[in-house]
Amino acid sequence: EVLLVESGGGLVQPGGSLRLSCSASGFTFRDSWMDWVRQAPGKGLEWVANIKPDGTKKEYVDSVKGRFTISRDNARNSLYLQMNSLRADDTAVYFCSHSLNDWGQGTLVTVSS
Amino acid sequence: DIQMTQSPSSLSASVGDTVIITCRASQAISDSLSWFQQKPGKAPKSLIYGAANLQSGVPSKFSGSGSGTEFTLTISRLEPEDFATYYCLQYSFYPRTFGQGTRVEIK
Protein backbone atom coordinates (compact mmCIF):
# COMPACT_ATOMS: atom_id res chain seq x y z
CA GLU A 1 0.00 0.00 0.00
CA VAL A 2 1.31 3.43 -0.97
CA LEU A 3 1.71 5.74 1.99
CA LEU A 4 2.75 9.39 1.81
CA VAL A 5 3.03 11.38 5.01
CA GLU A 6 3.73 15.10 4.94
CA SER A 7 5.11 17.08 7.84
CA GLY A 8 6.63 20.46 8.58
CA GLY A 9 3.66 22.75 8.11
CA GLY A 10 2.74 25.47 10.55
CA LEU A 11 2.37 29.19 11.13
CA VAL A 12 5.12 31.42 9.74
CA GLN A 13 5.44 35.18 9.33
CA PRO A 14 5.57 36.81 5.90
CA GLY A 15 9.12 36.64 4.59
CA GLY A 16 9.89 33.57 6.66
CA SER A 17 10.92 30.07 5.67
CA LEU A 18 9.59 26.59 6.15
CA ARG A 19 10.70 23.15 5.03
CA LEU A 20 8.12 20.52 4.24
CA SER A 21 8.94 16.83 4.24
CA CYS A 22 7.16 13.86 2.75
CA SER A 23 7.96 10.32 3.84
CA ALA A 24 7.09 7.70 1.23
CA SER A 25 6.56 3.95 1.37
CA GLY A 26 4.82 1.19 -0.56
CA PHE A 27 6.41 1.88 -3.93
CA THR A 28 9.86 2.23 -5.48
CA PHE A 29 10.55 5.84 -4.54
CA ARG A 30 13.88 6.09 -6.34
CA ASP A 31 12.13 5.31 -9.68
CA SER A 32 9.25 7.74 -9.24
CA TRP A 33 8.52 11.32 -10.24
CA MET A 34 7.23 13.22 -7.23
CA ASP A 35 5.09 16.34 -7.06
CA TRP A 36 3.92 18.98 -4.62
CA VAL A 37 0.41 20.36 -5.07
CA ARG A 38 -1.26 22.97 -2.87
CA GLN A 39 -4.78 24.11 -2.10
CA ALA A 40 -5.54 27.49 -0.57
CA PRO A 41 -8.47 27.54 1.88
CA GLY A 42 -11.72 27.14 -0.02
CA LYS A 43 -9.95 27.18 -3.39
CA GLY A 44 -8.98 24.71 -6.08
CA LEU A 45 -5.84 22.66 -6.59
CA GLU A 46 -2.60 24.25 -7.79
CA TRP A 47 0.41 22.27 -8.97
CA VAL A 48 3.58 23.64 -7.35
CA ALA A 49 6.60 21.59 -8.44
CA ASN A 50 7.90 18.20 -9.42
CA ILE A 51 11.21 16.37 -9.50
CA LYS A 52 12.67 13.60 -11.63
CA PRO A 53 13.52 10.27 -9.96
CA ASP A 54 17.26 11.02 -9.89
CA GLY A 55 16.72 14.61 -8.83
CA THR A 56 18.36 16.10 -11.92
CA LYS A 57 15.29 17.83 -13.31
CA LYS A 58 12.95 20.10 -11.38
CA GLU A 59 10.00 22.15 -12.56
CA TYR A 60 8.05 24.87 -10.76
CA VAL A 61 4.98 27.02 -11.21
CA ASP A 62 6.02 30.61 -11.93
CA SER A 63 4.62 31.98 -8.66
CA VAL A 64 7.16 30.02 -6.58
CA LYS A 65 10.22 30.11 -8.85
CA GLY A 66 13.22 31.50 -7.02
CA ARG A 67 11.54 31.07 -3.63
CA PHE A 68 10.76 27.35 -3.36
CA THR A 69 13.12 24.43 -3.91
CA ILE A 70 12.04 20.83 -4.36
CA SER A 71 14.50 18.10 -3.46
CA ARG A 72 14.62 14.44 -2.56
CA ASP A 73 16.67 11.88 -0.70
CA ASN A 74 16.22 8.52 -2.34
CA ALA A 75 18.13 6.75 0.42
CA ARG A 76 15.57 8.00 2.92
CA ASN A 77 12.50 7.71 0.62
CA SER A 78 11.84 11.35 1.33
CA LEU A 79 10.69 14.38 -0.63
CA TYR A 80 11.19 17.97 0.51
CA LEU A 81 9.97 21.46 -0.28
CA GLN A 82 12.09 24.33 0.99
CA MET A 83 9.93 27.45 1.03
CA ASN A 84 11.61 30.85 1.44
CA SER A 85 10.30 34.42 1.27
CA LEU A 86 6.84 33.18 2.14
CA ARG A 87 3.85 35.37 1.34
CA ALA A 88 0.27 35.41 2.53
CA ASP A 89 -0.87 33.88 -0.76
CA ASP A 90 1.30 30.81 -0.08
CA THR A 91 -1.15 29.88 2.69
CA ALA A 92 -2.49 26.48 1.71
CA VAL A 93 -2.59 22.78 2.42
CA TYR A 94 0.42 21.26 0.69
CA PHE A 95 0.07 17.75 -0.68
CA CYS A 96 2.87 15.41 -1.61
CA SER A 97 2.04 13.16 -4.56
CA HIS A 98 3.54 10.12 -6.24
CA SER A 99 3.29 10.91 -9.95
CA LEU A 100 -0.06 12.63 -9.28
CA ASN A 101 -1.60 9.19 -8.70
CA ASP A 102 -1.21 8.72 -4.95
CA TRP A 103 -1.49 11.56 -2.46
CA GLY A 104 -0.61 12.29 1.14
CA GLN A 105 -3.09 13.80 3.57
CA GLY A 106 -1.52 17.24 3.33
CA THR A 107 0.11 19.66 5.72
CA LEU A 108 -1.21 23.17 6.38
CA VAL A 109 1.05 26.16 5.89
CA THR A 110 -0.26 29.47 7.21
CA VAL A 111 1.63 32.67 6.40
CA SER A 112 0.48 35.46 8.65
CA SER A 113 1.76 38.08 11.03
CA ASP B 1 0.42 28.34 -19.49
CA ILE B 2 -2.31 25.93 -20.55
CA GLN B 3 -5.69 27.00 -19.21
CA MET B 4 -8.10 24.24 -18.25
CA THR B 5 -11.73 25.27 -18.19
CA GLN B 6 -14.25 22.97 -16.55
CA SER B 7 -17.98 23.17 -17.00
CA PRO B 8 -20.22 23.39 -15.22
CA SER B 9 -18.69 24.87 -12.08
CA SER B 10 -21.37 23.12 -10.05
CA LEU B 11 -24.35 20.91 -10.64
CA SER B 12 -27.16 19.33 -8.66
CA ALA B 13 -28.12 15.77 -9.34
CA SER B 14 -30.06 12.93 -7.78
CA VAL B 15 -28.94 9.49 -6.71
CA GLY B 16 -29.09 7.26 -9.79
CA ASP B 17 -28.50 10.08 -12.27
CA THR B 18 -25.73 10.20 -14.85
CA VAL B 19 -23.65 13.38 -14.96
CA ILE B 20 -21.13 14.65 -17.48
CA ILE B 21 -18.36 17.11 -16.66
CA THR B 22 -16.41 18.78 -19.45
CA CYS B 23 -12.85 20.05 -19.43
CA ARG B 24 -11.47 22.20 -22.24
CA ALA B 25 -7.78 22.92 -22.74
CA SER B 26 -6.57 26.22 -24.19
CA GLN B 27 -4.35 24.27 -26.57
CA ALA B 28 -4.00 20.65 -27.62
CA ILE B 29 -2.67 18.32 -24.93
CA SER B 30 -3.10 14.98 -26.74
CA ASP B 31 -4.49 12.59 -24.09
CA SER B 32 -2.38 13.89 -21.20
CA LEU B 33 -5.32 14.46 -18.90
CA SER B 34 -6.31 13.12 -15.50
CA TRP B 35 -9.46 13.40 -13.43
CA PHE B 36 -9.57 13.60 -9.64
CA GLN B 37 -12.27 13.42 -7.01
CA GLN B 38 -11.95 15.39 -3.80
CA LYS B 39 -14.15 15.34 -0.72
CA PRO B 40 -14.05 18.09 1.92
CA GLY B 41 -10.96 17.92 4.11
CA LYS B 42 -9.50 15.02 2.15
CA ALA B 43 -6.73 14.55 -0.38
CA PRO B 44 -7.64 14.26 -4.04
CA LYS B 45 -8.19 10.77 -5.36
CA SER B 46 -7.06 9.86 -8.86
CA LEU B 47 -9.85 8.45 -11.00
CA ILE B 48 -8.64 8.53 -14.60
CA TYR B 49 -5.33 9.05 -16.38
CA GLY B 50 -4.49 9.27 -20.05
CA ALA B 51 -7.95 10.76 -20.59
CA ALA B 52 -9.72 7.41 -20.59
CA ASN B 53 -7.84 4.93 -18.39
CA LEU B 54 -9.40 3.96 -15.09
CA GLN B 55 -7.10 3.91 -12.09
CA SER B 56 -6.88 0.57 -10.32
CA GLY B 57 -9.72 0.12 -7.87
CA VAL B 58 -11.92 2.86 -9.33
CA PRO B 59 -15.40 1.60 -10.21
CA SER B 60 -16.40 1.40 -13.87
CA LYS B 61 -19.23 3.89 -13.28
CA PHE B 62 -16.53 6.50 -13.89
CA SER B 63 -15.41 6.92 -17.48
CA GLY B 64 -13.37 9.45 -19.37
CA SER B 65 -13.04 10.38 -23.00
CA GLY B 66 -11.55 12.96 -25.29
CA SER B 67 -8.32 14.05 -26.87
CA GLY B 68 -6.74 17.27 -27.99
CA THR B 69 -8.67 20.05 -26.31
CA GLU B 70 -12.04 18.55 -25.29
CA PHE B 71 -12.48 15.99 -22.52
CA THR B 72 -15.36 14.58 -20.53
CA LEU B 73 -15.82 12.72 -17.28
CA THR B 74 -19.01 10.71 -17.05
CA ILE B 75 -20.32 9.41 -13.76
CA SER B 76 -23.11 6.87 -14.12
CA ARG B 77 -25.63 5.79 -11.48
CA LEU B 78 -24.70 8.45 -8.95
CA GLU B 79 -24.43 7.18 -5.40
CA PRO B 80 -24.25 9.26 -2.19
CA GLU B 81 -20.46 8.79 -1.97
CA ASP B 82 -20.01 10.34 -5.44
CA PHE B 83 -21.06 13.78 -4.29
CA ALA B 84 -17.77 15.65 -4.27
CA THR B 85 -15.68 18.10 -6.27
CA TYR B 86 -14.02 16.88 -9.45
CA TYR B 87 -10.91 18.34 -11.07
CA CYS B 88 -9.20 17.79 -14.38
CA LEU B 89 -5.44 18.18 -14.79
CA GLN B 90 -3.28 18.48 -17.87
CA TYR B 91 0.21 17.02 -17.68
CA SER B 92 1.33 17.57 -21.24
CA PHE B 93 3.07 20.87 -20.53
CA TYR B 94 4.69 22.68 -17.65
CA PRO B 95 3.38 24.07 -15.48
CA ARG B 96 0.84 21.33 -14.86
CA THR B 97 -2.57 23.01 -14.59
CA PHE B 98 -5.85 22.01 -13.00
CA GLY B 99 -9.35 22.97 -13.95
CA GLN B 100 -11.18 25.13 -11.43
CA GLY B 101 -13.28 22.20 -10.23
CA THR B 102 -16.87 21.01 -10.58
CA ARG B 103 -18.88 20.59 -7.43
CA VAL B 104 -21.46 17.80 -7.67
CA GLU B 105 -24.20 18.30 -5.10
CA ILE B 106 -27.24 16.33 -4.09
CA LYS B 107 -30.51 17.65 -5.47
Residue B47: pLDDT band (50, 70, 90) is very high
d(CA A112, CA A89): 10
- Asked if A47 lies within 8 A of B96 by C-beta distance, the reply is yes
Give me the percent of chain A exceeding a pLDDT of 90.
100
Mutation site, B96, B98, B100, interface A, largest A CB count within 10 A: B96
**B61 in contact with chain A, both atoms CB, cutoff 8 A:** no
Task: Identify the closest residue of chain B to A105 by CA–CA distance.
Answer: B43
**What pLDDT, on a 0 to 100 scale, did the predictor assign at position A47?**
98
pLDDT of residue A67: 98
Position A16 confidence tier, pLDDT thresholds 50, 70, 90: very high
Distances (CA, A) of B77 to A1, A84, B4, B13, B61: 29, 47, 26, 10, 7
A68 contacts in B (CB within 8 Å)?
none
Q: How far is the C-alpha of B45 from the C-alpha of A72, rounded, in Å?
A: 23
* Contact between B98 and A103 using a beta-carbon 8 Å cutoff: no
d(CA A18, CA A26): 27
pLDDT digits (tens, 9 = 90+) for B96-107: 999 999 999 988
Q: Out of A60, A61, A103, whose CB is closest to B44?
A: A103
Question: A44 exposed, middle or buried (CB, 10 Å; 0-12, 13-18, 19+)?
Answer: middle
pLDDT of residue B23: 98
> How do residues A18-32 score in pLDDT, each as one tens digit?
999 999 999 999 999
The alpha carbon of residue B96 is apart from the nearest alpha carbon of chain A, in Å, by: 6
Q: List the single residue in A60, A100, A103 with the smallest CB-CB distance to B91.
A: A100
pLDDT digits (tens, 9 = 90+) for A30-67: 999 999 999 999 999 999 999 999 999 999 999 999 99
Distance CA A100, CA B42 (A): 15
Q: Quick one: pLDDT at residue B96?
A: 98
